């Protein structure tokens, strides 16, 4: 199970981490809101992509062997 966790963690890092910029105390409100919206969008995309991959893996495991 640890291998699956590591794979999922790497996938989340890949999908979400690429768009992440640090929020600093000097970041203006508008900039912070834009960054948080971008992060939220990236999280939604990551969840959808990972869900699709899990569904595909589940379907492949339950497919009959010929």
Domain residues for 21?
Answer: 2-62
Burial label for 62, CB within 10 Å (0-12, 13-18, 19+), is: exposed
Domain tally, the chain = 1
| Model pLDDT for residues 5-58, shown as the tens digit of each residue | 677 777 777 777 755 677 777 888 998 898 889 888 888 888 898 888 888 888
The per-residue pLDDT for 30 is: 92
Tally of residues, the chain = 66
Look up tokens 């948080």; give the residue. 36
């Amino acid at each position: 199970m640890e291998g699956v966790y590591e794979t999922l963690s790497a996938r989340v890092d890949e999908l979400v981490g690429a768009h992440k910029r640090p929020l600093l105390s000097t970041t203006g409100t508008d900039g912070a809101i834009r960054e948080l919206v971008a992060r939220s969008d990236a999280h939604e995309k990551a969840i959808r992509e990972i869900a699709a991959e899990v569904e595909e893996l589940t379907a492949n495991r339950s497919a009959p062997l010929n």
